[in-house]
């Protein structure tokens, strides 16, 4: 059975209304120049790290890549900002949502447009501080490392496909 068959919500092309983006997921790594956002399924032992923002949405830590920032630098910065975490080993790419923007201009001037990619990764991490919550970023109110079943349920507040993304991370990162 293929990954698309096991994770149909993740692999179904859809529209993200919040960004006016048409997206499709694939496990092929995107070209570096297309990656505008990086998010990480974080493992603390067997538990999954989720962050609750000021909207009461439980999300995977990650966010927008800054100009001239490498993917690795973005991962490390976003983990500190949103989870108070740092990776303890390699960061593994899981796949990406390839997106086409329907807007006239990019979200930020230096970003590719209209085609871009949201990179999804997995990593073992240590939680060692509070999120830094910089101005202009998501404001994280709580960080938890929870068992898989709880993570799958909580993650649905950020979209049904996120639970499948976590399950894929468990399968690929912790075979």
Query: What is the model's pTM?
Result: 0.95
pLDDT digits (tens, 9 = 90+) for 114-142: 999 999 999 999 999 999 999 888 899 99
CATH class of the domain at 3-173: alpha beta
Q: What is the DSSP string of 121-164?
A: EEEEEEE-S-----TTS--EEEEEEE-HHHHHHHHGGG-HHHHH
CA atoms within 13 A on the CB side of 7: 23
Cβ-contact 32, 116 below 8 angstroms: no
Residue 5 has pLDDT above 70, yes or no: yes
Domain range summary for the chain, segments of one domain joined by + = 3-173
Q: Please tell me the predicted confidence (pLDDT) of residue 175.
A: 58
In whole angstroms, what is the distance from residue 132 CA to residue 153 CA? 26
Residue 168 has pLDDT above 80, yes or no: yes
Cβ-contact 150, 163 below 8 angstroms: no
Q: Please tell me the predicted confidence (pLDDT) of residue 137.
A: 84
């Amino acid at each position: 059975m293929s990954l698309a068959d096991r994770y149909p919500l993740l692999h179904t092309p859809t529209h993200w209304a919040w960004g006016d983006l048409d997206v499709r997921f694939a496990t092929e790594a995107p070209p570096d120049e297309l990656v505008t956002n990086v998010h990480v399924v974080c493992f603390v032992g067997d538990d999954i790290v989720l962050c609750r923002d000021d909207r009461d949405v439980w999300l995977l830590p990650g966010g927008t890549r800054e100009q001239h920032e490498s993917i690795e630098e973005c991962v490390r910065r976003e983990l500190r900002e949103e989870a108070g975490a740092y990776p303890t080993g390699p960061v593994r790419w899981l796949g990406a949502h390839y997106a086409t923007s329907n807007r006239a201009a990019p979200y930020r001037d230096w970003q590719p447009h209209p085609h871009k990619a949201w990179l999804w990764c997995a990593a073992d991490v240590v939680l060692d501080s509070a999120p830094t919550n910089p101005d202009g970023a998501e404001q994280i109110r709580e960080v938890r490392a929870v068992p898989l079943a709880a993570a799958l349920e909580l993650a649905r507040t950020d979209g049904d496909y996120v639970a499948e993304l976590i399950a894929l991370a468990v399968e690929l990162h912790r075979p």
